[in-house]
Structure 1
Amino acid sequence: MKLVKSCIAMTLCSLLSVPTFAADKTSEKTQEQQDVIDFYGKLNISLQASEEKGESFNELKSNASRVGVKGKYELDHDLTAIYKLEWQVNVNDDSKDTLTARNQWVGIRGGFGELTVGRSDTTLKVSQGKFDLFNDYEADLKHLFIGENRVADSITYKSPVYKNLQLLTSYIISDDIEADDPYSIGVFFGDLNLKKTDFFLSVAHDENMPVKFKPVDSGESSRTEALANTRVTGMYKFGDLRLGAMFVDTEVVNTGKSETGFAANASYKIGKVLAKVQYQEFSGADSISVGADYKLGKNTKVYAWFTDREGNQITSNDDGIDYILATKGQYFAIGMEQKF
């Protein structure tokens, strides 16, 4: 934020201090700064009615509202320095600490591809593209599937795109000297945003990825397991109709125990309305969601959705403690999203 304010202040000072004949040149510099530095974000606020464990309650949800700054600087040898700093803004939090770190990295881009270091989504998480029609809501894939990880100490490489094919890898430096370093690798075919192509297919795999499980009894301690995840995602767009499917396989490295799951969804655009439905199943739990978005403008929409989710839990082979995978509940929300 300070960086953006400094740029604005410098631009205003330049406009006030330089002669009129230099206005065009100043305008060109200002435009160059805007091309290099991008301040962005979105606010997504909803009123949600929830029912969990037989109790009903209403709440205001922030739905991963965020703010960030990203940019690039041209370097010698046809290289470009790139960076991104993003924070989640918890507008419904009464505490003073309302910012949470999201993707934050710096790197280099060139003919070889792109290399970044810092806090990043793993390749497996990125491999879903725009598959999740209820991302950041109660039907978000992360509530049933294991593997939606954003990790620090990450070194990420993206290859150049060749005939719609791209390779992505993430290597994470572990803080545990006794554990093997996790890594994530994937192959993408098509455009994950479904803008340059009408199709997208990806295969991704995590290895030794640490995941913390929440115990059913709040008096028990949480447990961290190293997992191996494999995910296959496919999407295809037929005009205004979009279909998607995903298959996942998750294995606990230490025990070899594995679970499989799948998700399928569809959306259809009717004028300014996007109708959507999504079903997800994993390890004895399932979730079904229906909803609709209505575009009020390029960066503004209102929406409503309903989710019915069955919960489940697992028992550790070592200590006999039950750990939660998903909480059972029914949820309904109406809200608004504003991007900037």
Structure 2
Amino acid sequence: MKLVKSCIAMTICTLISTTSFAAEQDAVKSKEVTAKAVNEFYGKLNISIQSSDEDGEKFNDLKSNASRVGVKGKYHLDSGLTAIYQLEWQVNVGDDSKDSLTARNQWIGLRGDFGEITAGVSDTTLKVSQGKFDLFNDYEGDLKHLFIGENRETNSITYKSPTYKKLQFLASYIISDEPEQSDPYSIGVYFGDLNLKKTNFFLSAAHDENMPVKFVGVNSSGATNTLSESLANTRVTGMYKFGDIRLGAMLVDTEVLDLGKSETGYAVNASYNIGSKIVAKLQFQEFAGADSISVGADYKLGKETKVYAWYTDREGDEVIGANDFTYTLAEAGKYFAIGMEQKF
């Protein structure tokens, strides 16, 4: 009987040991696979009900606010390099057509001790240089509605240097498909963390040269004209966070040659965390004699979920160019919205 019990005990121990060893081996293999390839599916839905007043015309609309979906990842190579990629699309849930997807950042590249280099469709260095400055990004208070130069370019080659003592250099080179146009480029230097997570400050300076831009003009007879021009643009951005308060300031200098127009502008903003769930926001922007003020608040329902409300009052900006064509650089209007954002 004792022999039978001993055999049973030994069998159980052997099974446990074998199962444990197999589990450890599976875990090791899983870690090796994870180390070799990391892929992430992500996105966000940001839907709002918006009331607009433009030129005395009032209307309501359901806005998608640059909702997006994408996949990104990295593959660790035997050479010590890492292959990286991103494919992202904007989703317009308010569009009933079949073309509700539009391309956003889509690129492939390599990362190593030298830094990171990518090729494809990318935000320019100047656009990225704002970090998380814009408190009303993707809404009517977005900086792009007054400032010129928020570009995402195709045929783009982007380089990011390694970070050294919180300092990083970035550059974008765009291969122009216009034979007579000089290739655009965008360069910048960053100091601190653009997400304000690793540091409580962020400073950046960036410059665009030969960046393409288009304006649509109308003259007194009703004729229209599209002006294609190269842009020279310089931007300096600063943010600082202390406690529950975050402050930011931005200066811009923009030159549009064909319009004979060189303008400066600025933006300032502040946000305040009220407890752990509410963020109050205020942003003012001025450019070429026009200005925009936005106020709003976010309420967190969860880590990846929030509801919000905001109001924007924006003055327009028009320029008269050759042959008395009036080019609208920014539309005037008053806007109010309430909405919800869900990240995944």
What TM-score, normalized to structure 1?
0.90
2: CA distance, partners of 1:90 / 1:53: 25
Pair 1:88–1:286, CA change in 2 (3 A): same
SS at match of 1:221: strand
Identity %: 73
Pair 1:61–1:255, CA change in 2 (3 A): closer
Q: Specify the alignment match of 2:162 in structure 1.
A: 160
Are the aligned partners of 2:225 and 2:325 in contact in 1 as well (CA < 8 Å)? no
2: CA distance, partners of 1:118 / 1:29: 33
Alignment of 1:75 onto 2:80: no
Are the aligned partners of 1:170 and 1:183 in contact in 2 as well (CA < 8 Å)? yes
SS at match of 1:46: strand
What is the RMSD of the two structures over their aligned residues, measured on CA atoms?
A: 1.9
2: CA distance, partners of 1:55 / 1:135: 24
The letter for the 2-side match of 1:46 is S
Q: Specify the alignment match of 1:313 in structure 2.
A: 318
2: CA distance, partners of 1:29 / 1:227: 52
Greater Cα shift, 213-222 or 254-263: 213-222
The letter for the 1-side match of 2:338 is I
The letter for the 1-side match of 2:302 is G
Are the aligned partners of 1:261 and 1:281 in contact in 2 as well (CA < 8 Å)? yes
Structure 2: unaligned runs, 5 residues or longer: 1-18
Alignment of 1:265 onto 2:269: yes
1: CA distance, partners of 2:205 / 2:287: 18
1: CA distance, partners of 2:323 / 2:122: 33
Deviation at 1:224? 1.3
Deviation at 1:255? 6.1
* Aligned match for 2:113, one of 96, 99, 111: 111
* Aligned match for 1:65, one of 53, 64, 67: 67
The letter for the 1-side match of 2:139 is Y
The letter for the 2-side match of 1:277 is L
Q: Specify the alignment match of 1:43 in structure 2.
A: 45
2: CA distance, partners of 1:328 / 1:256: 23
1: CA distance, partners of 2:79 / 2:110: 12
Greater Cα shift, 274-283 or 221-230: 221-230
2: CA distance, partners of 1:206 / 1:41: 29
2: CA distance, partners of 1:247 / 1:177: 33
SS at match of 1:81: strand
* Aligned match for 1:303, one of 308, 324, 330: 308
Deviation at 1:220? 1.1
Deviation at 1:27? 6.1
Q: Specify the alignment match of 2:97 in structure 1.
A: 95
Instruction: State how many pairs are aligned.
Output: 321
1: CA distance, partners of 2:253 / 2:334: 26
The letter for the 2-side match of 1:38 is E
Alignment of 1:213 onto 2:215: yes
What TM-score, normalized to structure 2?
0.89
Q: Specify the alignment match of 2:57 in structure 1.
A: 55
Pair 1:25–1:299, CA change in 2 (3 A): farther
1:125-164 counterparts in 2 under 5 A? 125-164=127-166
Q: Specify the alignment match of 1:292 in structure 2.
A: 297
Pair 1:29–1:325, CA change in 2 (3 A): farther
1: CA distance, partners of 2:218 / 2:290: 16
Deviation at 1:33? 5.0
Structure 1: unaligned runs, 5 residues or longer: 1-18
Pair 1:28–1:58, CA change in 2 (3 A): farther
* Aligned match for 1:282, one of 263, 287, 308: 287
Deviation at 1:76? 2.5
2: CA distance, partners of 1:305 / 1:214: 29
Deviation at 1:320? 2.4
2: CA distance, partners of 1:33 / 1:42: 25
2: CA distance, partners of 1:38 / 1:71: 6
Alignment of 1:230 onto 2:240: no
Are the aligned partners of 2:70 and 2:89 in contact in 1 as well (CA < 8 Å)? yes
The letter for the 2-side match of 1:325 is L
2: CA distance, partners of 1:215 / 1:23: 69
Q: Specify the alignment match of 1:8 in structure 2.
A: none
1: CA distance, partners of 2:290 / 2:23: 63
Deviation at 1:187? 0.5
